[in-house]
Amino acid sequence: MAAFGPAGLWLVKFAAMCWLVAGWALLSDRNAAVFLGLFAAVTLTVTVHNAVLVLG
């Protein structure tokens, strides 16, 4: 946020969404499920890390 502000955050979120949709669309059902699970795990890890930084 300090370097790029809200526009940078929006760009990162948009790129992640595009990557997620592309992976979901291009992979087989089983691989897409694994891909979405890994994406969810990374998102949860980042969220917990940020919460620890803000609250701790």
Q: Summarize pLDDT for 25-45 with one digit per residue, the tens.
A: 999 999 999 999 999 999 999
**DSSP label of 27:** S
Sorted by sequence, the CB contacts under 8 Å of residue 11 that are 6+ apart come out as 4
Domain, as residue range, for 50 = 5-55
Q: Is the dihedral of CA 29, 13, 51, 45 positive or negative?
A: positive
Listed in sequence order, the DSSP H helices in the chain are 5-26, 29-55
C-beta of residue 21 within 8 angstroms of C-beta of residue 30: no
pLDDT at 43: 93
Total domains present in the chain? 1
pTM over 0.85? The answer is no
C-beta of residue 1 within 8 angstroms of C-beta of residue 8: yes
pLDDT at 2: 79
pLDDT tens per residue, range 1-11: 678 899 998 99
pLDDT at 56: 86
